[in-house]
Amino acid sequence: MAPVPAYVEQGIASWYGAPFNGRRASDGEIYDMMLPVAAHRTLPFGSVVRVTNLNNGLHIDVRIIDRGPFVAGRVIDLSLAAARAINLVGPGTAPVRIELLSSPLPLGGAFTVQVGAFTVRANADRLRTELAVQYMPIFIQDYDAPNGHFFRVRVGREPNEDAAQKLAAMLKGENGLQTFVVRLDETQCCSTSAPAAPPAAAPAPGGVLP
């Protein structure tokens, strides 16, 4: 196991349960909401983190198996079991401290920026076409959620998280997009092939995935 550099993060935690229970998580395993697991956007799969509820001092150690949350201001999504352990279920969210305890991989790697999620593939293709004038690579990742099938549009392949954060700030500032920095996992596709010409209809608003 690779040596773990110090990693501490603070932000808002939320939790996800029944609609996702029994579905495949981003690392390929089946999500069981009664296990101490969680979703994080950038830590490697298999990392174990200690999550402390800053409102009450309770903490729980969880394993990262999923990507998310894709909601502005939130840093981690806990399973139902983990949320119960730190009294998070009732309030739904709480300020937390995240401390990395172990990781199967170094924290470096490739990172990308999610700029939208659509239920219609043509709208995802349209956004990719618009951004391709300035940014490459751009790719689209399919995702099955309890509330439908989504197409996530992601921009760039950056060598570290700091570079990805700079790209995210540029995309937000120049294009008014809601952005999320995400680790590029081995299962994700980075195809840069040109999309088909988009239809003339106006694009639907970008969705935010759970």
* 173: pLDDT strictly greater than 90: yes
Percent of the chain at pLDDT exceeding 90? 78
Q: Tell me the per-residue pLDDT of 95-146, one tens digit each, with 9 for 90 and over.
A: 999 999 999 988 889 999 999 999 999 999 999 999 999 999 999 999 887 7
Please check whether residues 76 and 121 belong to one and the same domain.
no
* 204: pLDDT strictly greater than 90: no
* 195: pLDDT strictly greater than 80: no
**Average pLDDT of the segment spanning 139-155:** 89
62 Cβ contact partners less than 8 Å away, ≥ 6 residues apart: 36, 37, 38, 48, 49, 51, 78, 79, 82
The span from the CA of 161 to the CA of 185, in Å, is: 13
Q: Would you place residue 198 in the very low, low, confident or very high pLDDT band (cuts 50, 70, 90)?
A: very low
Please check whether residues 93 and 116 belong to one and the same domain.
no
- pLDDT of res. 31: 96
In the chain, how many domains are there? 2
- What mean pLDDT, rounded, does the chain reach? 87
- pLDDT of res. 157: 96
Within the chain, residue ranges assigned H as helices are 80-85, 121-131, 161-175
* 199: pLDDT strictly greater than 80: no
Domain hosting 98: range is 8-102
Please check whether residues 73 and 21 belong to one and the same domain.
yes
Q: Which of 117, 112, 107, 109 is nearest to 190 (CA)?
A: 112
* 180: pLDDT strictly greater than 50: yes
The span from the CA of 60 to the CA of 58, in Å, is: 7
**Average pLDDT of the segment spanning 66-85:** 96
Task: State pTM to two decimals.
Answer: 0.84
* 206: pLDDT strictly greater than 70: no
Amino acid, single-letter form, for residue 68: G
* 171: pLDDT strictly greater than 60: yes
For the ranges 2-16, 81-95, 194-208, the one whose mean pLDDT is highest: 81-95
Q: On the CB side of 164, how many CA atoms lie within 13 Å of its CA?
A: 25
Please check whether residues 12 and 92 belong to one and the same domain.
yes
| DSSP codes joined into one string, 136-192 | --EEEEEEEETTEEEEEEEEEEESSHHHHHHHHHHHHHHH----EEEE--TTS----
Residue 202 lies in a domain: no
- pLDDT of res. 145: 79
Please check whether residues 93 and 149 belong to one and the same domain.
no
Please check whether residues 67 and 18 belong to one and the same domain.
yes
